[in-house]
Structure 1
Amino acid sequence: MSYQIKIPSYTCGGEGCIENVPAIIEKEHAKKIMVFTDKGIRSTGLLDGLTKILDETAAEYKIFDDLTPEPAYQDVERVMDEAAQYEGDFIIAIGGGSVMDAAKLCSVLKGASYTVKDLLKDPAIAEKQIKTLMIPTTCGTGSEATCNAIVAIPEEQSKKGIVNDNMIPDYVFLDSQMIRKLPKAIIAATGVDALAHVVECFTSKKATPFSDSYAMAGAKLIFHNIREAYGDADNMEAKNNMMLGAFYGGVAITGSGTTAVHALSYPLGGKYHIAHGVSNAILFAHVMEFNKDACKERLAVLCDGVFPEFATKSVDEKADYMIGQIADIVKVTNIPTDLTEFGVKMEDLDFLVQAGSDQKRLLVNNMKELSLDDIREIYLKVLK
């Protein structure tokens, strides 16, 4: 069996690394830059550091900040219409997953004859039109490394991933200054999302030696730093490690793919607008418990790498320990574990089961097949 992995061609890390942005602009001979962000990022002042740097270059720039969290494809189309009016030749995205996903879509849509709706039907038609630079402002989506863009589909009350290698970013800057003042709730949600990426990719049917290497490296960083990054706002070492771990998780996704945790979380975001990381966190331990008999050996290998002090334990003990760690991290970071807090009712169960089962792109990666009854039982555990 052959296998591959694709990663951004240039990645820069460390506090203050966005100071290197002018060198990239010069290298790419960029004259008109499209800056993707959102109003939340602008209100925190995070964008100011970037615009100050851009003001010192010879390039023009235009800011596109009318981006909504967890955007529907219609939201993306609206922003693309605005972007079409600007003759941009380079894209910089500074924000979370939704901002970076929109920027990646713009990189294959600007000047193209196809639309977002066309890509939902056939992602393979996408071709890169403009190069991109990603500056994540959370520690979890991994969007800065992936070829995926997730959009909500309101008429289906769910979400769908558009996947094409041409959307892999060209440049990535992992600057922990971007998350120095990140609210604890966002550290929790995005951090657990990153944890789901590495665990799911390591236990995916499509896992390869390449994806395993990145997933393992990410798991070591995230398991050992998420509590500290959440609990101590001044622990920049932990936050830097979380950014790196999230990036590794994104790279692992391109080589392997997430599984049933993400599949079952999509309807929660699509219909109830629960933040992506939170919906993953609610389901995470329950899905892994369901999967355990099919992937306990893989969880044991992950345990050996992340917690070598448990080397003498049995495979079952190691698998249970990893699932217990996941549950504990969700608890320590104060993420809700009950869907009723978000207005989800028992009468919504049939919708959830059907919508979750429709996420074939991810469910085929799961080591254990899920019947409709299995999916129902998992959702029932979080509808208390």
Structure 2
Amino acid sequence: MQTVYNVKLPHAVYGGENSIDNITTILKDHQVKRVAMFTDKGIHDSGLFDLPEAAVKAAGADYYVLDEIPPEPSYIAVQNIVDHFKAIGADMIIACGGGSVLDAAKLASVLVTDEYGVKELLDEPGRAKKCVPTILIPTTAGTGAEVTPNAIVAVPEKELKVGIINENMIANYVILDARMIKNLPRPIAAATGVDALAHAIECYTSKKANPFSDTFAMEALDLILNNIIPACDDPEAMEAKNKMQIAAFYAGIAITASGTTAVHALSYPLGGKYHIAHGVSNAILLAPVMRFNAPVCQERFAQAYDRCCHDTDTICQTTNEKAEWLIEQLERIVRHLEIPTSLKEFGVQPEDLDGLVEAGMQVQRLLVNNMRLVTAEDARNLYLEIL
């Protein structure tokens, strides 16, 4: 565990019933004249976009909608969006969507300048400076992108996803309104929810774990383990959905305070080369990586059991039993939510292993956080396990 640590957070976070309405006050307080509204076609067409749009209209601000953001975009696609954004001359960004939308908006907020673009930030993320304030509104309970300083983009030439990290991309304002996730399709709710689950358990077992990250990671883990299934299964389970949205936010703070580990590191090539959704690739790897880590993480797994197991019929006594309970819960949740547990249906072949291992081992910024050393042979065995 780290002995020196910090966490950087948005200026303000609004949650609870009708929290979207705070947009109007924020825009008026900042005397905003023109807003760039980032979203995607699915959100726009579903009617969810109507809520923030109405709040912007109530503030009397002009606005321009950018909804051509593809899922899991490449840095080239994001640069195209940024170029459109720069032409608008907006003095506030409002982003309403999943991780891809929020990440694109965060990058746009530091890319008004012509001195550098997204490609340059892949190599020098530290040069980015906040140019336009942001309001981020997640429409999934998963990525935590609304609170992190990270933006993930695909790099096609490397068949890999890369994280651009700069604290200037932390949102000025975050709005957590459970209405935005009420009608989220079950497969998306499941995949993004398990992404948040991975954030929580990875950050809690990271080499960079610290009192700040532990506080948020453990609360997120407790909320997710006990709410993800009803939140995904029942469209009317608004209390569970609200708890999942808060949990995803807490797990995002945990990322900011410590960092994810081998699950995310080994999942990036799966998204970069095979275009497997980020949450799905994390779900496939989650239990196998945690079993791999168990020899050095048992104590932490046992602490998670003590906090998160509220079933009075389940009584585990030993550290080993408690650790096994946690890993079994991860497996049970992924199975129940009908997320794939194998790469077969995505066309991954045994002959692809060398490329996967090579790409996965490149993600050293996350692998170095893993409590147990991951060698190339370990990575190969983990990929073999999910083929």
TM-score of the pair, normalised by structure 1: 0.98
Inter-partner Cα distance in structure 2 for 1:29 and 1:112: 26
Inter-partner Cα distance in structure 1 for 2:229 and 2:96: 25
Inter-partner Cα distance in structure 1 for 2:167 and 2:58: 33
**3-state SS of 2:93 partner:** strand
Structure-to-structure mapping, 1:128-277, within 5 angstroms = 128-277=130-279
1:322 to 326, 348, 368: 326
Please name the residue that 1:367 is paired with: 371
Show structure 1 runs of 5+ residues with no match: none
Structure 1 contact 37–65 (Cα < 8 Å) conserved: yes
Inter-partner Cα distance in structure 2 for 1:53 and 1:142: 23
Please name the residue that 1:347 is paired with: 351
Is the aligned partner of 1:35 residue 2:37? yes
1:325-375 Cα shifts (integer Å, max 9, x gaps) = 000000000001110101111111111111111101100100011111110
Structure 2 contact 25–59 (Cα < 8 Å) conserved: no
**3-state SS of 1:287 partner:** helix
Deviates more, 1:41-50 or 1:219-228: 41-50
Is the aligned partner of 1:335 residue 2:339? yes
1:100 to 97, 102, 106: 102
Matched to 2:269, the amino acid is P
TM-score of the pair, normalised by structure 2: 0.97
Matched to 1:144, the amino acid is E
Inter-partner Cα distance in structure 2 for 1:313 and 1:255: 31
Structure 2 contact 27–56 (Cα < 8 Å) conserved: no
Inter-partner Cα distance in structure 1 for 2:58 and 2:6: 40
**3-state SS of 1:84 partner:** helix
Show structure 2 runs of 5+ residues with no match: none
Over the aligned positions, Cα root-mean-square deviation in angstroms equals: 1.1
1:180-206 Cα shifts (integer Å, max 9, x gaps) = 110000110000000000000000000
Matched to 1:279, the amino acid is S
Shift of 1:231: 1.4
Matched to 2:359, the amino acid is A
Please name the residue that 1:313 is paired with: 317
Structure-to-structure mapping, 1:25-64, within 5 angstroms = 25-64=27-66
Shift of 1:2: 2.1
Shift of 1:53: 2.0
Structure 1 contact 10–170 (Cα < 8 Å) conserved: yes
**3-state SS of 1:205 partner:** coil
Deviates more, 1:296-305 or 1:202-211: 296-305
Inter-partner Cα distance in structure 2 for 1:334 and 1:84: 41
1:4-53 Cα shifts (integer Å, max 9, x gaps) = 11111100111321011101111222111010001111111111122122
Matched to 2:219, the amino acid is A
Please name the residue that 2:283 is paired with: 281
Structure 1 contact 304–311 (Cα < 8 Å) conserved: no
Shift of 1:376: 0.6
1:213-235 Cα shifts (integer Å, max 9, x gaps) = 00011111100000111111110
Shift of 1:311: 7.2
**3-state SS of 2:87 partner:** coil
Structure 2 contact 125–164 (Cα < 8 Å) conserved: yes
Percent identity (aligned): 52
Please name the residue that 1:298 is paired with: 300
2:118 to 116, 119, 135: 116
Inter-partner Cα distance in structure 1 for 2:179 and 2:339: 24
Shift of 1:300: 1.1
Matched to 2:330, the amino acid is I
**3-state SS of 2:161 partner:** strand
Shift of 1:317: 0.9
Shift of 1:111: 2.5
Inter-partner Cα distance in structure 2 for 1:27 and 1:295: 48
Deviates more, 1:302-311 or 1:90-99: 302-311
Deviates more, 1:111-120 or 1:164-173: 111-120
Segments ≥4 residues shifted beyond 6 Å: none
Is the aligned partner of 1:376 residue 2:374? no
**3-state SS of 1:94 partner:** strand
Inter-partner Cα distance in structure 1 for 2:5 and 2:340: 38
Inter-partner Cα distance in structure 1 for 2:315 and 2:332: 21
Structure 1 contact 291–368 (Cα < 8 Å) conserved: yes
Matched to 1:382, the amino acid is I
